[in-house]
Structure 1
């Protein structure tokens, strides 16, 4: 079979003539100078199977999906880790800013209400900030005065409880040596440690002084940030929106607004829940006769800002005080009162106050608190759940406004 026959078989599928369209011509010149058309033999391309296509067909669909999910999860994890590292590295700036954001979510309705009553925006902001400072100072004054007024009684009760515990350990089934409970022995040990640890004490004192300086600087930064967030919060967010593509700014704005509403609802609900916990513990402590009841109630109030575990851990301090000061019977009553308060919080207060605006699964709350403690300690646990509330609502509304899969251009 000649080459032309093979060519006809490849192109024409049989022995027929080669279509003229497949035989391009070129212009040549004969010996006498006249042009003539000379048929060119087309270049024959041999079909080669696509190796990539065969490889993709050999990989199961489940592995394709797992790989697609895997690299996306890795990218998100790297992004989250990077953000956490930056927040931790710049903690002297980020922590005051986050505190200011939470206080803004709490106090912004007060500023708006004053502004609707005809008060100038700047004056309304100043009144709100100063009023918040007065409230915080008043609460701290009540706590300190309560501790100072009952310090002598509490000290006597603690000493009595310690002696009872030491007597039980010495004469009970454990038979612990009395040397461990001799006050003179402890004084001698402490004195010797102070004499031999001057450099360590100096280092600790310098660290404490540096921490106090950082705290004051952070307090000032949080105060100024709070003022400007209350006064120009919308303008600041409008500036941040410029970093997003123009076509997605409206969607990000709406999602952020919904996230901010969820954050505000969470902060206000947490304040009310913490207040209820503190009042419940205060009433129980006063009935049982636990010393320094207002201070213990304030501790429970502050601990309740860490959901689920905060109020219970801080309430355990009240149980210890009752155990040392009054005895194990009163301590059991105090423990029962705290468990009752926690049950009321979990089953009545939180569902009623937070409602559906901030609906977060308890497991997600616990995981967020655990991650917050790992990354930032107590401060991380304090901010973990509010950030989760904002991010959850933000992402939810951001994805809700994406095109419907049935009408999306990508799905066509």
Structure 2
């Protein structure tokens, strides 16, 4: 063997020895972990609690339902305080708020007539003036007829009332009560003493009412002026108010406002139509039965229909009492049947058919709204409660729904056109 061959053999043996050592090392590293047991278990890492709704670890320790209840609670408290302050502010300026609310109702009622005159190429001011004059004429004529008939029939009603009181006295003596003449006279004397003792308070109320005549006249003038400008410039006023909000909110507010105004108009017109039908039905029954004050009672039914559920019942009860005093029990029962029939037709046919789904409100909400309105603002509150609930219902539904994406070009155009009111 030559020297070169020996060197080659040595290199080959060295290469094989190195390869065997590498294989042993690789086998040692790939041995399974269960073959080598550690001396002790390492401690598990402490889990980290992540709550996106909390800012500290202390808040994370509070149960989630309690945190949700607390969040709702303080937000409701803030809303309640803001609502209370708003109601107090409205109470302070009620002399202005009440005429404006009445003007809005009248504007919603008369706006179709103004629109029709505008389509006939009349100037806006002239069209609004003609509609207001016709409306005032209708109201003045109705009030004149009511007052005239009331004055003409007052002597007959007084005589009927006196006769009815005597019948009640006779019934108290001969009826199931079997009261003596002394007891009846004592009851009458007690009533007279109560009236005499409360004369001062009644007189003070009369003076207080006389002192508010100026406020009533001021409110009536404000109603006329506000109605005129609402009818003529209502769209411009609403656009100016919408421009006070950020650009991204203007589309939603404008859409909600238009829908709310349509709901208010539909409610007022439907209520007027239902009131006319109620007044006509009950008025015809009173005329057929020859009950005095048929026209004033029909007008009272018409006005009472603007307060849903409660107003019709109260006005119908007044008609039944007048029939009882003037014509006796039989006619009063017939009038009561006519009132119940008209109210059933109104509640089950007229209201669903005329009002429709646009102003559909649950009766419980209506009752609670009227009761709250009476507590907060008396008769005006009862009158405004239901249309306010209908408007808020429509407006909130429109604001809560998903609005369509506005193209950037439309936003730019809107921002440019809203520079001037």
> What TM-score, normalized to structure 2?
0.78
CA gap of 1:55–1:231, structure 2 versus 1, over 3 A, is same
| SS of corresponding position for 2:155 | helix
For residues 317 and 189 of structure 1, do their structure 2 counterparts lie closer, same or farther at Cα, with a shift above 3 Å needed?
closer
Taking the aligned partners of 1:334 and 1:362, their CA distance within structure 2 comes to: 26
Output the CA distance in 2 between the equivalents of 1:133 and 1:239.
Answer: 29
Gaps of at least 5 residues in structure 2 are: 1-46, 406-421
Report the equivalent of 1:167: 170
Q: Give the aligned CA root-mean-square deviation in angstroms.
A: 2.6
Which residue pairs with 1:81 in the alignment?
Answer: 84
Return the structure number with greater helix share: 2
Q: 1:62 to 1:223 in 2, by over 3 A?
A: same
Q: Give, in angstroms, the shift of residue 144 of structure 1.
A: 1.2
| Number of the residue aligned with 2:185 | 179
Q: What residue in structure 1 maps to residue 106 of structure 2?
A: 103
Provide the rounded CA distance (Å) in 2 between the counterparts of 1:253 and 1:52: 38
Distance 1:133 1:254, change over 3 A: same
Q: Secondary structure at the match of 2:232?
A: helix
- Work out whether residues 278 and 301 of structure 1, in 8 Å CA contact, stay in contact via their aligned partners in 2: yes
The CA deviation at 1:57 is 3.9
Please give the alpha-carbon distance, in whole angstroms, between the structure 2 residues aligned to 1:120 and 1:403. 36
Aligned-partner Cα distance in 1 for 2:127–2:169: 58
Instruction: Spell out, residue by residue over 1:136-165, the C-alpha distance to the aligned partner (whole angstroms, 9 max, x if none).
Output: 011111211221222222222111111101
Matched, 1:150 2:153: yes
SS at match of 2:358: coil
Distance 1:60 1:188 in 2: 66
Report the counterpart of residue 15 of structure 2 in structure 1: none
- Distance in 2 separating the partners of 1:108 and 1:56: 56
Q: For residues 230-379 of structure 1, what are the structure 2 equivalents within 5 Å?
A: 230-379=231-380
- Corresponding residue number in structure 2 for 1:117: 120
**Alignment partners' CA distance in 2, 1:303 and 1:377:** 14
Partner of 2:402: 401
Give aligned pairs, total. 354
How far, CA to CA, are the matches of 1:280 and 1:248 in structure 2? 48
Q: Which residue of structure 1 aligns with residue 229 of structure 2?
A: 228
- In structure 2, the residue matched to 1:23 is none
Q: Tell me by how many angstroms 1:304 deviates.
A: 0.8
Instruction: Give CA deviations for 1:279-306 in whole Å, capped at 9, x if unaligned.
Output: 1111121222321111111111111110
Could you say which structure has the larger radius of gyration? 2
* Structure 1 gap segments, 5+ residues each: 1-46, 405-412
Deviates more, 1:174-183 or 1:333-342: 174-183
Query: Which residue, out of 115, 120, 130, partners 1:127?
Result: 130
Structure 1 residues 248 and 159, CA, compared in 2 at 3 Å: closer, same or farther? same
Alpha-carbon distance in structure 2 between the residues aligned to 1:98 and 1:82: 19
| Structure 1 residue 401 displacement after superposition | 3.3
Deviations along 1:203-244, one digit per CA (max 9) or x if unpaired, are 444312211111111000111111111111111122222332
Q: What is residue 36 of structure 2 aligned with on the other side?
A: none
TM-superposed deviation, 1:65? 2.8
